Chain A
Amino acid sequence: MELFTYTRATDADQAVNAATHADVRFVAGGTTLLDLMKLDVERPTRLIDINRIGLDTVEKLPNGGLRIGALVRNSDLAHHPVVQSDYSVLSQALLAGASAQLRNMATTGGNLLQRTRCMYFRNTAMPCNKRAPGSGCSAIEGDNRTLAILGASKDCIATNPSDMNVALTVLEAVITVRGSAGARDIPIGEFFLVPGTTPHIETVLAPGDLITHVTLSAPRPQSKHVYLKLRDRASYEFALSSAAIVAELSGGKVTFIRVALGGVGTKPWRSHEAEAALLDGPAEIANFHRAADAALRDAHPQSENAFKVELTRRCITHALTLATQSASTRSASTRPA
């Protein structure tokens, strides 16, 4: 850990104005940043604590949408009554993530920017293009069981570890950012970047940008929400594969569908291919298999994670089954863990 200065911002403008160069970091819950600083992976010279700038409420908007402050804690968001009833996939995903202790600290904005759990990113004795651009990727020929099969490049195969981001992707959230040039809105589909040749650049944010809000559009009362997370153990583990589904049926046909995957992509992985395979078709198992195949058509497994292709196929199929079956049969098969 390197020496750093620490200041507290009292409002968003002050925070943004203070963030004048690249090695400044905002700290909120600290659940990723402080760990990485202790490991010498993150070496900021200046920390700006944003825990006291407000932005910690969830508001219903006049248009029916929901505006979530960037400092709203994951626990509070997961248990918010509107989120539970109208955006259930978000609540489910949040509660599938981390542990209760971490969720009590972690914030909405922080979760969006959560760094990868790739073990080589965390080991400073080994090359990593995300940590040290140009040094190489240790994971490709290393222990890559948990890493990406979608969106990887020859320079990086690290997964985006967040569960929340996968749910926000199917909800087509809009992220509001404040920077030196003022505020702007970024659809989540444009927010994250695949690694390509620059894996150290993970989002479209510019240095000093501060996430202030996440906005969800008006709920779809007829939609069913499912977040299914598969992992080795029942709690406190990143997804090996997960699927977020928002679906609407009419007369047995799929009339609205959003599919996103976690634990398998270098970013929260929206599958337009799966959606296209499902839309306007009957909600039946053969179509779910087709959708899964479509989602995984470009999957490129690494030496240790070929199993993720089959696991994800089952994950998508089962999540779609849960999202399209009647309420009475659903409760029995959506048991936790």
Chain B
Amino acid sequence: MATRSTLPPRTNGSLPRVDGPLKVTGTARYSSDYNLPGMLYAVPVCATIASGTIAGLDTSRAQSMPGVKAIYHRANLGKLFRTAPPSGFSGIVDEKRPPFEDDTIRYYGQYVAVAIALTFEQAVAAANAVKVTYKATTLNVTTHFMESEATDKPNVDSHRGDPDAAFASAPVKIDQTYATPTETHNPIELHASVADFDGQNFTLYETTQAVCNAQDVMAQMLGVPVENVRVISRFLGSGFGGKLWPWPHALIAAQASRNLGRPVKLVVTRDMMFQNVGHRPRTQQRVRLGATPQGKLVALMHDSLNHTSLLDDYSEGCSEATPYSYSVANLRATSGMVRRNVGTPTSMRGPGAVPGLFALESAIDELAVELKLDPLQLRLLNEPEKDEGRNLPFSSRHFVECLKVGAEKFAWSSRTPGIGSMKGSGEQAGLTLGWGLAGCSWIAERTEAQASVELLSNGAARVSCATQDIGTGTYTVLSNIVSERVGISNDRIEVVLGDTNLPPGPISGGSWATASVIPAVLDAVDKAKQTLFTIATSGPDAAFPDKKADALALENGKVHLKSADASTGVPFGDILAKASVRAASGQGKSTGTFGAPDRKFSTHSFGAQFAEVTWQPEIARLRVSRVVTVIDGGRILNPKPARNQIEGAVVMGVGMALFEATRYDIRNGAPINNNLADYILTTNADAPAIDVTFLDHPDLVLNPLGARGVGEIGLAGVAAAITNAVHHATGVRVRELPVRIEDLLAAPAELRA
């Protein structure tokens, strides 16, 4: 194993995004920015019931409206197929039913028809003019879950020891149920498809976090060979997991393009974002903790339920972090699903771990209160030596350091434990303060990837991979790595991403795109260098005649003999130009860890979240004033976009704790707050001061640079840190998110100023 000193220096420090200028000048082309000659516009018709069947569908008026080219529905869209079971990260789709497959309505907003017209406005008018009648049946969007509703016996996700007996005999017990609401992904960029069928091949401009998977799914569902489908996603206005797998609108656009022989654009509207493209399902989680009076955990049981749709099984996976978070001899984590008349759920940033850690880290805080122990001390007392769930050593776990560094930065030692006992001063004069903390973690994995690197005769370089940049900085990180390895500046490097014509790359999900692509790019650079050295030592015009390729080195963009000083180097562009070769290229490859057999290590990122809330009981006003986050995310390749990820996640965590919840009308299943005014997200005015620290310990088990991803971990634990702080300030323990004014009005009156 390499030691830290053998790692290449981080020459680039904290570089700005290479794609920044394109984005701020509006020249970055997002999927919905593609306007192709002859393009038509598609606007879906959405069901206004959540359960029942279509009794009648009258398109006569719509069809005769100006500009209308077609109204498609079950009877005339044409055949679409279902996917075969997925293999690895290919062929994955959460809503498996092809659009319009039958006349049954299973959730509010389900697509029942689509209007295709010359202009967007004409398509909207025509979609509104399609008259649909329904035969409604009883629906179920009830918020609360009962165990008896579970689709099957709960799945035992992890088990060790005898948790029932250990809990029964534990001197101190916590037994509480926590819930997180349905949350809707609300990236700024709406889902969009621009589909172009040329008679044989589909070119699909998609808002996808996984072009390779989209290519496979679309080919299967359209019923064409995979090579007939090209998926392009150059820029994404984020996705938060909602754009990982294809959704029905993409099929509708592609099929309409095939039927009409013209490009078709379909942009999902904001209200459709709440019903047709996934969501984080509501979770309901019972956590039982047993401990000794000294604070040693002896039993942990975590039983979670989440809702899913009528046709698809989506398990949120709330147990993800439970088995390895703490040392406890007796543990059981189970999960189950209940069915509701809602669209199919999907991954949202930190699926499983984020709601799961809200429950677990709330329960740990409740145990600390019960034991009259500092919640930080309680966590230190239960730090595991290894991953007790998998019985494997951690590749790199620095959770204790996260807690200690965070405590120092937050000044945790000055916390007084009494409820409402801390008062603000200065700008916070007159306010009650609450301080809370929570631990967090997230899986660290990598998947297979390939990449191509070309060293060009003009002295520039090009790196390409099919993987897409969800907006987190993949363009920047790949540019930085090539810059570092080749020794040329970022402005001489072209990064090409988001196209299935390029070497296959990973999904932008699971926080593993960076960790997965880097080894492939490093391998590609090495291979390109070998090609370059061979050219430099071959032929009559060789720059280094009579030398062996392995006698050469590349530094600062110049090739020199290892035996000579670097200053004697010849620019690689000159070598290639002289040889009349356009490019020395290398194809790199890396293997995955996800699901690999014979694992020797448990690989995870860790972190600690410290939150301060201010509380004005006289007007029931609660705000988050400050968050200190310490992340053990491996070696950080470029601190700037990495910090940006954590800060954004903390802001999202404030929303999860205090604001976000998709509310379904109980009578017709409509997500009734389906817009950005009624679905409350964090605004800038709600964003706290955020202090981010990266411990920067390389995880060399995971990849040669020791880098893990940081896209999701920043959200984990934030909600629990905030609700723990809310309890400290107000005495109100909120176990069902979000914290509402209603909950806080119940704060004990004696704590009121």
Q: Is B188 an interface residue (CB 8 A)?
A: no
* B658 & A233 in contact (Cβ 8 Å cutoff): yes
Q: Is A22 an interface residue (CB 8 A)?
A: no
Q: How far is the CB of B221 from chain A (nearest CB, A)?
A: 29
Stretch at the interface among A79-87, A202-210, A248-256, A307-315: A307-315
Residue in B672, B683, B745 whose CB lies within 8 Å of A142: B672
* A230 & B745 in contact (Cβ 8 Å cutoff): no
Set of chain A residues within 8 Å of B124, measured between Cβ atoms: 1
Q: How far is the CB of A21 from chain B (nearest CB, A)?
A: 22
Set of chain B residues within 8 Å of A141, measured between Cβ atoms: 667
Chain A residue, CB-CB nearest to B622: A232
Q: In the complex the two chains form, what is the Cα distance from A127 to B605 in whole Å?
A: 50
Q: In the complex the two chains form, what is the Cα distance from A182 to B684 in whole Å?
A: 46
Set of chain A residues within 8 Å of B686, measured between Cβ atoms: 233-235, 337
Stretch at the interface among A5-13, A68-76, A117-125: A117-125
Stretch at the interface among B212-220, B293-301, B452-460, B673-681: B673-681
* A311 & B683 in contact (Cβ 8 Å cutoff): no
* B659 & A233 in contact (Cβ 8 Å cutoff): yes
* B673 & A119 in contact (Cβ 8 Å cutoff): yes
* A230 & B684 in contact (Cβ 8 Å cutoff): no
Q: Is A3 an interface residue (CB 8 A)?
A: yes
Chain B residue, CB-CB nearest to A337: B685
Residue in B121, B672, B680, B684 whose CB lies within 8 Å of A232: B680
**Would A142 and B665 be within 8 Å (CB), given that A233-B659, A235-B685, A237-B680 are in contact?**
yes
Q: Is B502 an interface residue (CB 8 A)?
A: no
Q: Is A2 an interface residue (CB 8 A)?
A: yes
Which residues 13-50 of A have a CB within 8 angstroms of B? 40
Which residues 116-156 of A have a CB within 8 angstroms of B? 117, 119-120, 122-123, 125-126, 138, 141-143
Q: In the complex the two chains form, what is the Cα distance from A233 to B673 in whole Å?
A: 16
**Would A126 and B125 be within 8 Å (CB), given that A119-B678, A233-B682 are in contact?**
no
* B620 & A230 in contact (Cβ 8 Å cutoff): yes
Q: In the complex the two chains form, what is the Cα distance from A332 to B429 in whole Å?
A: 7
Q: Is B668 an interface residue (CB 8 A)?
A: yes
Question: Which 4 A-B residue pairings sit nearest by Cβ, starting from the closest?
Answer: A125-B48, A234-B685, A235-B685, A307-B742
- 19 A-B pairs with CB atoms under 8 Å apart are A1-B128, A2-B125, A119-B673, A120-B672, A126-B670, A143-B673, A228-B619, A232-B658, A234-B623, A235-B684, A235-B685, A235-B686, A240-B741, A307-B745, A311-B741, A314-B619, A314-B620, A332-B429, A336-B685
Set of chain B residues within 8 Å of A122, measured between Cβ atoms: 675
Set of chain B residues within 8 Å of A311, measured between Cβ atoms: 620, 741, 745
Most chain A CB inside 10 Å of its own CB: which residue of B663, B665, B684: B665
Q: Is B492 an interface residue (CB 8 A)?
A: no
* B685 & A143 in contact (Cβ 8 Å cutoff): no
Chain A residue, CB-CB nearest to B128: A40
Q: In the complex the two chains form, what is the Cα distance from A228 to B742 in whole Å?
A: 18
Set of chain A residues within 8 Å of B658, measured between Cβ atoms: 232-233
Q: How far is the CB of B623 from chain A (nearest CB, A)?
A: 7
Q: Tell me the B residues contacting A by CB distance below 8 Å.
A: 48, 121, 124-125, 128, 427, 429-430, 618-621, 623, 658-659, 663, 665-668, 670, 672-673, 675, 677-678, 680, 682-686, 740-742, 745
Set of chain B residues within 8 Å of A125, measured between Cβ atoms: 48, 668, 670
* B623 & A337 in contact (Cβ 8 Å cutoff): yes
Chain B residue, CB-CB nearest to A236: B683
Set of chain A residues within 8 Å of B672, measured between Cβ atoms: 119-120, 123, 142-143
Q: Is A318 an interface residue (CB 8 A)?
A: yes
Q: Is A63 an interface residue (CB 8 A)?
A: no
Residue in A236, A237, A310, A318 whose CB lies within 8 Å of B745: A310
Number of interface residues, chain A, beta carbon within 8 A: 38
Q: Is A317 an interface residue (CB 8 A)?
A: yes
* B48 & A233 in contact (Cβ 8 Å cutoff): no
Set of chain B residues within 8 Å of A119, measured between Cβ atoms: 672-673, 678
Q: Is A328 an interface residue (CB 8 A)?
A: no
* B670 & A123 in contact (Cβ 8 Å cutoff): yes
Q: In the complex the two chains form, what is the Cα distance from A234 to B620 in whole Å?
A: 13
Q: How far is the CB of B734 from chain A (nearest CB, A)?
A: 14
* A1 & B121 in contact (Cβ 8 Å cutoff): yes
* B125 & A314 in contact (Cβ 8 Å cutoff): no
* A318 & B665 in contact (Cβ 8 Å cutoff): no
Q: How far is the CB of A123 from chain B (nearest CB, A)?
A: 6
Chain B residue, CB-CB nearest to A142: B665
Q: In the complex the two chains form, what is the Cα distance from A241 to B620 in whole Å?
A: 11
Q: Is A326 an interface residue (CB 8 A)?
A: no
Q: In the complex the two chains form, what is the Cα distance from A230 to B683 in whole Å?
A: 15
Set of chain A residues within 8 Å of B680, measured between Cβ atoms: 232-233, 237
* B665 & A317 in contact (Cβ 8 Å cutoff): no
Set of chain A residues within 8 Å of B741, measured between Cβ atoms: 230, 232, 240, 307, 311
Q: Is A101 an interface residue (CB 8 A)?
A: no
Q: In the complex the two chains form, what is the Cα distance from A318 to B128 in whole Å?
A: 48
Set of chain B residues within 8 Å of A314, measured between Cβ atoms: 618-620
Q: Given contact pairs A120-B672, A236-B683, A307-B745, enumerate 14 new A-B contacts (beta carbons under 8 Å).
A: A1-B128, A3-B125, A40-B128, A117-B677, A119-B672, A142-B665, A143-B673, A230-B621, A232-B658, A232-B740, A233-B659, A234-B623, A307-B741, A318-B618
Chain A residue, CB-CB nearest to B752: A314
Set of chain B residues within 8 Å of A333, measured between Cβ atoms: 430
Q: How far is the CB of B558 from chain A (nearest CB, A)?
A: 52
Q: In the complex the two chains form, what is the Cα distance from A336 to B685 in whole Å?
A: 10
Q: How far is the CB of B576 from chain A (nearest CB, A)?
A: 52
Q: How far is the CB of B128 from chain A (nearest CB, A)?
A: 6
Q: In the complex the two chains form, what is the Cα distance from A143 to B669 in whole Å?
A: 12
* B678 & A117 in contact (Cβ 8 Å cutoff): yes
Residue in A142, A230, A234, A237 whose CB lies within 8 Å of B619: A230
